[in-house]
A and B are shown apart, each in its own frame.
Chain A
Amino acid sequence: MSAKKLAWAGAVFAALLAMPLVLGEFWVLVLTEILILGLFAVSFNMIFGYMGQLSFGHAAFYGVGAYTTGLMMVKAGVPLGLCLPASMIMAGLVALVLGYFCIRLTGIYFAILTMAFGQLIFYIIFQWYGFTGGDNGLQGIRPPALLDGPWSYYYFTLLVVTAGVIVMWIISESPFGYTMRAIRDNPQRTRFVGVNTKKYMLINFVVAAMFAGLAGGLWGPFNRSLAPDLCNWHQSGVPVFMTIIGGPTGFLGPLIGSVIYTFLMAFVTGFTEYWPLTIGIVITLVVLFLPGGVWGLVERYGAALPAREGPPPEGEGGAS
């Protein structure tokens, strides 16, 4: 990591530390949501940007993580600090089973299989009244007393999300991360070099799901309740939207997308119920006129930001 990048990251982190001091409760809640969904979106981009496959069932892992923490806290009173790792492990285990099949497919078939599995998880949570509460949802998830307030929970979320994002950054810059890029760009050649591509893809899928599970785990105590809609395919669309808006070619693209998406939602839903119409138009405009998202724009025109390392962003759907 260059000094310039480090300076940028430091500045962003300092801003995130300072912002709640001047913001009201509503915007602190929005910031918390941005962080949680941002972590979710960055984990999605491990599959989309770095592996080159579009997962349309990523919310399943988010939901599994959310329900793991929620159920452990409500039914067994397990402290949050233990629930979050459990959420990661549960999401990872589910991803290990589903991913075993998913990574055998690519392109549209990968997208639809992840979607079918995602809907399967959704229906299990939706129908299993005795355990998950079904469509009544799961209520009364309270964070520990120390974190029981918008500001304290924000700082806790900031800490966890930053740690998660740093770990994913390290993975993306490691030899493993570069092997994933190679598999994305030319799977056949990567196989010829002697890489077990299926194994790498499965590991990547599981790791991405674990961080989605972590994000889901953070959501329950923040929202105080859970509903099965958390793992519906609409929720799977959220990280896709964020990544496309922010740009899949940059590691931080999905986070930028989360900032834009969540702020816009908080703003727009303040005066109209037609949020789907709004985001639908935004997505249409981004797809038509801003391929590569905001990060693509930055890469093309922003000399002030870190220079790109990979090929130009014209080839969509790939992180450089």
Chain B
Amino acid sequence: MAAPQETTSRSRRTVELVVLAVLFVAFAGASAAGKRPANAPDDWWVTRLGVVIAAGLTLIMYSFLYRDNPLFKMAENLFVGVALGYGVILTWRQSLKPEIIDPLFIDPPHLHAFWMELARRSAPIVLGALLLTRISRRAGWLSRYSYTLMVGWGAGLSIPITIHTYVLQQLKPSLGLVSKVLGDAPAGQQASFWSTALPVLGDLIILAGIVSVLFYFFFSVEHKGAGSFVSQLGIWFLMVSFGASFGNTVMGRVSLLIGRMRFLLHDWLGLGP
């Protein structure tokens, strides 16, 4: 005789299967109910088939909110496979074909043009090919030449640019308070108290934030007394920053849901204004 828990599980599974069958029938009915517009092009059915498949996959992906299930796993694997296949085709069509195949074998009008193109492109082609030697244990060391060049080139370019963009340029707003206090008002302009005070207050907050957050990550001095206060202030600034990031993340995710919902309601079911 089956245990009570096993019986409950089996009956629940039966209910879930019945609900799934009803949902499938409802999905098929809703998909078939889509009417062809009067001025629809000849290939309307192809587009409609794409919409129905996309709607089905969207609903399957959202079924995860109820529970992990085989349909979700299938859709997940399908997505990974399609994304990989799409990536391979994109790399071929957007990079390899226009950068190597077309200029060397399709476009050049004569042999001289071929040799000119080959001379221009041989170094990148060889360095790119060397990267592929990573798949071989014996020849893998050859890929280091490409990596060496990439790292050297990247570091050489990015170090001065990073210092300029992320440090020197960012010092400007951090020192805005100093320039406002020391700088003269533009000739002919009579600044009001509030128009001067509010930006100065903003600069003060920025300055306090920078100093306190930097101090929070400064571990050479024990954070006690006044140091503890500054460190705590740094934590508050960080928390506000994380809150802003979290709020924006929620907004971004809701936007994605709005997009899917609009697709299901408007494009698939034909509802709404």
- A and B held together in a complex: no
Binding site for B on A (CB under 8 A): none
